[in-house]
Structure 1
Amino acid sequence: MRVNRHSKVRTRAAVGLTVAALAAGVTAGAGPATAQPKAAPAASAAPYCGAAHRIEQKLSTGTTWRMCWRYDSKAGLVLENISYQPKGEPKPIKVLNSARLGQIHVPYDDGNIEYDDLTGFDFAQGLMNLAPGECPGGTIKTIKVPDSWNEDPNVKGLCTTTRARGHAYRMQGDTANKVYQAQGKDLLVYTVNQVGWYEYMTEWRFQDDGAITMNVGATGSLSWDDYDAGDGRGWPIGKGASAKATSHSHNAFWRLDFALDGSTANRIEQYDSTVAAPARGQRAPTTKTTRTKVDKERAGDSKNYRWWRVVSAAGKNKDGHARSYEIVPGPTTKYPGRSYTKHDVYFTQYNKCELFASHNPGDCGAGAGTSVDKWVNGQALKHPVVWTNIGFHHIARDEDQQPMPVHWQGFSIAPRDVTAMNPLTPAELGWQNGHWQPRS
């Protein structure tokens, strides 16, 4: 599916057709919404951004998420000053200074072409108007696109809504008559950006248990003039086997600037476990977990029994444990063709000009390079920035037409010791913290 990026005129025409289709009621399924986000009351308004750029949502389970948003001329939607306040916490807990896409790199299998959609092909300019049906139960905010080449730069393109997540937990109590269960709720924030024939859905899910999930979903259309993979690398689409769509990869990067408890002096830790066969006299294998402090810039790779966390240097939960967030990678197909896509995660020292994982347009100094792999050069991590790389190898199929179902790629960050107990714990179980004894 070679995306038609050869003419801005043709791309803009496609955008116009899509907006017309939305106006006629052709919308992508967005899942059930459960409540409309309410405007933040003036008394609780955070001072860091004006009301027009503030998102504040108290979910029905008691958790409140707060953040600011802005729109970047290349990265698109940027979320800033993100904080999380579950019930029982007296004040918001800051999590991130900023969260944004870092690049969408699209190389084709035949080696004839590759794209960097954020910095090289007007990703941000392709912001789409959303129809009300695409944001059920929510609010669509208007974004003024910087440096817009459209006649009207104002796009109704930012959806904020809430969705049911399913079970947050379920537990049979110590008597057969009691079941504890709760249905989870998420704040959902998303935009849609068209790049050629693709439409990218950039989705941020803020869960009531403190987790954040970041996804990019690719949908839209198979390019009608991209059935020329005569080299055997493509997949036949339509009648017979004469028309073959070229296979390609989507390598999506995210850039997270953590500020746990309001401090950027966070620590990075890597955990690895090894499993050994049962020793003499043991009934089962043994597992040993070791911690490695990541004090300097590093590129890392996901593997079995490996995980990372970002640890607060400024705050602890009510049990006296340092707050942290664990990085939870999603399914990925790692693309080895470029140096910057060879690793799953990068930890770099903050530099305000290091914004895009490849073809970074900023001048970061002599010899700095223009991709994230070049920035991993041994600097001490005093203010770490986390980059994640999640890949998807797209081999087109008959079911990709027409329109193409969304294929998702992404990852999560999960709270680890941010609160002393499950933030959704029912009040009658609040005393069961740590090594508790059953009550008579």
Structure 2
Amino acid sequence: MVAKTSLTALVATAIHCVTARPDPNLYRRAISKFNEIRTCGLSDAAPTVKAPKVNPWAQITPDDVTAVWELVHSSEAGLNLTHPDNATLTDNYVYFIDTLPTNKSAILPYIDGDAELPAKYARVVIFEGGKDEPVSQEYMVGPLPVGSETSVAKLDYIFNGGKGGAVPFNGRNFDGKRSRASEPLLKSIMEEIADITVALFDGAYYGSGDERTNISAGSPTPVSYDGTQAFRNIMFRYPGAATYLVPIDLYVMLDITGTDASKYFLKGIVTNERFFRTTTDLRAAYDAGELKSEFPQTREQEWALVKNQPEMGVRDLEDRLAPQSVELGGKRYKYDKEQQYVEFMGWSFYLSFTRTLGLAFYDIRFKGERVLYELSLQEAAAQYAGYQPKAANTVYHDTYYSFGTYAATLVEGYDCPFGSTLLNISFPEGDREEVHPAGLCIFEQDSGYPLARHRTGGSSDFGFSNLGTVKGSALHLRAVYTVGNYDYMFDYAFHLDGSIETEVRASGYLQSSPYYKSQGRFGPRISQGTQGSYHDHILNFKADFDILDTKNSLQVTELVVVNQTQPWYEELGTFEQMEFNTTVMETEKQFNWAANGQAMYSVVNNDQTNAWGEKRGYRIIPGKSNIHLSIANSPWTRKQSGMLKSHLAVTKQHDTETYSNSWQNINMPEAPQHDFLKFFDGESVDDEDIVLWFNLGMHHFTRAEDIPVTLFTEAVSSIMFAPQNFNDRAQEGDLRNRRWVEVDEEGGLTYEDYGIELPTCQVQLEEPVTKIEPWASI
């Protein structure tokens, strides 16, 4: 459409959209539906599309889960299993069932050729406490569905620590059964000193199920160094919704080595920055009046709840609904629910989900050409600092807790825009499938800036002769995982220009410590008796690039400063100049971003060039807060956290190096089940199938503004993969959402809208419904 109008009239063209404010109680699909009164398309479901092939990365089915459970419990399997509900430390029982990732070498002939769909296998973790040498052992069960050809075999090939899928008992997951085994010892110790804890902290612990107990016990990981011993360093808090923010200054350290709980013993008690080896030593100090609370803790926790706090006051006009992002023109992405396949503005990809890692992307293509084979989280880690057993000892690997199972229900209009496509998250739990409603959302969102813009000068009253501006937006896939005290928001954005952005934000309660003036070097005082313990958040990702095919290289373009002369500047003599020095990384390597950003890292295909003869590739661009772990040689992260200790790493792809970490690594810092550092054995990464591993994260310099919870605004980290000569020109020329404005000879404006008119519509949000609908699951 071409129209002639004034600039004022052009700007005044508007969208009329009236929205009724929804009920705030939107949790668990008490989430607003939409009643469209025309033509916004706000309530439209995503158009359907048929995936080109069956998703080879999909989860095993609920029927498969049940059949695998029955098979491993059968006498034919010979595993001598006890049902987990009835098991003890010295029994064999299933800990979890998950989907075993299919090898890339098996999938490529299928996804790119005419090979048959590869067989699926289940991953089964069994705690074998009934063996002479008790271990945790992983098994692979398949092919699925269960039939005459299905077998149960040890899953060893994806682990390089020397023991395959086995982990010693002392290094295995500290599950409820291990906690219950050490409970009698803890109870006896705390009963013996109950009068002291009541006097000092107005609290006592008589066991987790005793009604007299009014303080809660928790312990960090790791619980072992190498699996030959085990310990439990217990801290205490006041119970409640915000328990992480009200710690008390009491720590009990236990030795819990082995399966015989009668041999467990007290290692010591810590309070007042002092270590007491026995309860007798503690009592002597108490009787001498040497113990006190420097900053007594509060039990009251109302101040720490994430709800409106009247004492904070009122901001003018805050009673109005905040601005909303809505897909006014209707959804522009397509979704195949059955195959978990998405298409958007030239992008296409498959989705996958596991209980261990959560959401992952496969076969990511732009305009039909593959960019990435896989983009997935590998680990969400945190390491703390402090002068007491809990903070000094705490390192979390959240895959240890089955990270994917904590995908939380999303609140429409707040966690995701109104009108988002909401998908259930499902995963195996025991012999069945568990479903978390609305655990993933998909939406297209205005970028908040144009994709491209330029005006040329002129002598008109408007100050230009022509102006072009292109609408910017991106498709987002978002999930929030609430693991204990933290909510991690993962947002993957597919931009119109062919760029992919990965962003992580962190919110939630700090794992805090009791405050002492002498310990200010570990964090500030943030509440009455609470210190915000400094810590690192590191999130490790895998990006298996296949730029057009599996022969890629990592090109390093350094910006160097050289002294040179140029004959047309004879009067300057020698002067400094910038130039490029381009090399290729030859062998596997861990490395960091260059100082001052003076290097560009690009994954390129040496055999594929664009129209100008430049190697086609994708650039790796650091975003906000690209960090690595601060500590290089901590006893708690010495060998099992190697993937966290550099910004980036590149390796040659192997089916045996599927993951950078093992979910069971956390308790084995000296002898990991899977050692990322062993990936680096001198193999070539030039013209090979290469994998980039990268870290996002935050150095969490805690502050009073972390109360009640850390804010998403500043606790954020991101990275972008952007075309680098992948195309012949910028990918904005085939998008019609743009305006071309010219000043004509008469001083008026002529503009082209390319048939994309601004809609006039009215939208009414209905009352929320409480029935959970059978949405698509992933």
Residue 600 of structure 2 corresponds to 307
Residue 388 of structure 1 corresponds to 694
CA contact (8 A) 1:255 1:355 kept: no
Residue 710 of structure 2 corresponds to 404
Letter of the aligned partner of 1:276 in structure 2?
V
Higher mean C-alpha displacement, 197-206 vs 153-162: 153-162
C-alpha spacing 1:193/1:149, structure 2 compared with 1 (3 Å):
farther
How many residues align? The count is 384
1: distance between equivalents of 2:352 and 2:734?
A: 36
Unaligned runs of at least 5 residues, structure 2:
1-216, 221-233, 243-305, 308-321, 459-463, 633-641, 666-670, 737-778
Q: Which of the two has greater strand per residue? A: 1
C-alpha spacing 1:5/1:318, structure 2 compared with 1 (3 Å):
farther
2: distance between equivalents of 1:69 and 1:427?
A: 26
Is 1:135 paired with 2:403? no
2: distance between equivalents of 1:340 and 1:427?
A: 40
C-alpha spacing 1:254/1:277, structure 2 compared with 1 (3 Å):
same
1:337 paired residue among 619, 623, 631: 631
Matches within 5 A, 1:347-386: 347-359=650-662, 370-381=674-685, 382-386=688-692
1:151 Cα offset (Å): 8.2
C-alpha spacing 1:236/1:311, structure 2 compared with 1 (3 Å):
same
Q: Deviations over 1:182-205 (max 9, x none)?
A: 231101011111111101111101
Letter of the aligned partner of 1:120 in structure 2?
Y
1:221 Cα offset (Å): 2.5
CA contact (8 A) 1:4 1:197 kept: no
CA contact (8 A) 2:427 2:434 kept: no
Is 1:191 paired with 2:479? yes
Residue 235 of structure 1 corresponds to 524
Identity over the aligned pairs, expressed in percent?
21
Unaligned runs of at least 5 residues, structure 1:
16-20, 23-28, 58-62, 86-91, 429-440
2: distance between equivalents of 1:298 and 1:104?
A: 22
2:455 paired residue among 172, 178, 189: 172
Letter of the aligned partner of 1:335 in structure 2?
L
C-alpha spacing 1:335/1:162, structure 2 compared with 1 (3 Å):
same
2: distance between equivalents of 1:264 and 1:309?
A: 15
2: distance between equivalents of 1:77 and 1:269?
A: 29
Residue 346 of structure 2 corresponds to 64
Residue 294 of structure 2 corresponds to none
Is 1:97 paired with 2:391? no
C-alpha spacing 1:177/1:203, structure 2 compared with 1 (3 Å):
same
Letter of the aligned partner of 1:76 in structure 2?
G
Letter of the aligned partner of 2:592 in structure 1?
D
C-alpha spacing 1:412/1:278, structure 2 compared with 1 (3 Å):
same
Letter of the aligned partner of 1:115 in structure 2?
V
1:148 Cα offset (Å): 6.7
1:317 Cα offset (Å): 3.1
Q: Deviations over 1:49-97 (max 9, x none)?
A: x64411222xxxxx32211101012111011111112xxxxxx221111
1: distance between equivalents of 2:605 and 2:218?
A: 45
1:327 Cα offset (Å): 0.6
Q: Deviations over 1:176-233 (max 9, x none)?
A: 310122231101011111111101111101110111111111112335xx33254331
C-alpha spacing 1:4/1:208, structure 2 compared with 1 (3 Å):
farther
Letter of the aligned partner of 1:139 in structure 2?
T
Is 1:259 paired with 2:546? yes
1:285 Cα offset (Å): 2.7
C-alpha spacing 1:4/1:77, structure 2 compared with 1 (3 Å):
farther
Matches within 5 A, 1:291-306: 291-303=582-594, 304=596, 305-306=598-599
Letter of the aligned partner of 2:660 in structure 1?
A
Aligned-pair Cα RMSD in Å? 3.4
Residue 250 of structure 1 corresponds to 537
1:399 match: secondary structure: helix
1: distance between equivalents of 2:552 and 2:526?
A: 50
C-alpha spacing 1:130/1:413, structure 2 compared with 1 (3 Å):
same
CA contact (8 A) 1:188 1:204 kept: yes
2: distance between equivalents of 1:207 and 1:255?
A: 20
C-alpha spacing 1:65/1:354, structure 2 compared with 1 (3 Å):
same
Residue 431 of structure 1 corresponds to none
1:123 Cα offset (Å): 1.5
2: distance between equivalents of 1:30 and 1:301?
A: 39
2: distance between equivalents of 1:78 and 1:14?
A: 31
1:374 match: secondary structure: helix
TM-score of the superposed pair, with normalisation by structure 1: 0.78
CA contact (8 A) 2:536 2:630 kept: no
Is 1:126 paired with 2:406? yes
1: distance between equivalents of 2:219 and 2:441?
A: 27
Letter of the aligned partner of 1:422 in structure 2?
A
Residue 442 of structure 2 corresponds to 160
2: distance between equivalents of 1:40 and 1:355?
A: 30
